[in-house]
Amino acid sequence: MEKKIRGKAFVVGDHVDTDQIIPAEYLSYNPADPAERKYFGRYAMSGVPAPASGLPKGNVPFVAQGQWTSEFTVLVAGRNFGCGSSREHAPLALAEAGCKAVVAVGYARIFYRNSINGAYVLPFECEADPAKHVRTGDEVEIDTAAGTLTDLTTGESWTLAGLGSVAGIIDAGGLFDYARKAGMLK
């Protein structure tokens, strides 16, 4: 796991569901095929409607038209991020787009577990609601060791909940790699 994650923030509001993270119409692509897997990144967050998305800085797409990856490294969200279906493709889509971490007030547990099990994105929880302060496009930094999110544009900082025992799964590269390394699988 990277000690520090730095980049532009993409901000959304509460209750962003997995259909908004990766709409069902793009689930026909095969994540096992590298040529098709990149489409998950291209269409990540494409289901978030403009005014309802909670974007504090206008209608900015997560992935620019015609691009394969996003300029945003950190997604900052409100409550219940990743709710809806148990779509394993949702954290994969964010990772394929170049997102490294999500900071949210809270997650749907299935999205949280899928993020960890596949080691796709780091799912940090924050009791405060940085989505009410950080603006889309702000330069932010997550210090994973210190457990902080800092908006480098404004200087504001928030404390993140630690990843605890799931950090080992992420460091191993996902649940199956962790189980192999721990001798649970051969």
Q: Rounded to the nearest 5°, which phi and psi values hold at 24?
A: -55, -30
Please state, in angstroms and rounded to a whole number, the distance separating the CA atoms of residues 152 and 165: 29
Query: Residue 159: helix, strand or coil by DSSP?
Result: strand
Looking at residue 52, its pLDDT comes to: 46
Q: Are 104 and 123 in contact (CB under 8 A)?
A: yes
0.75 surpassed by pTM: yes
Looking at residue 50, its pLDDT comes to: 53
**Ordered structural domains, the chain, with CATH:** 4-181 (3.20.19.10)
Stated length of the chain: 186
In the predicted structure, residue 10 carries a pLDDT above the cut 70: yes
pLDDT confidence bin for 46, thresholds 50/70/90: confident
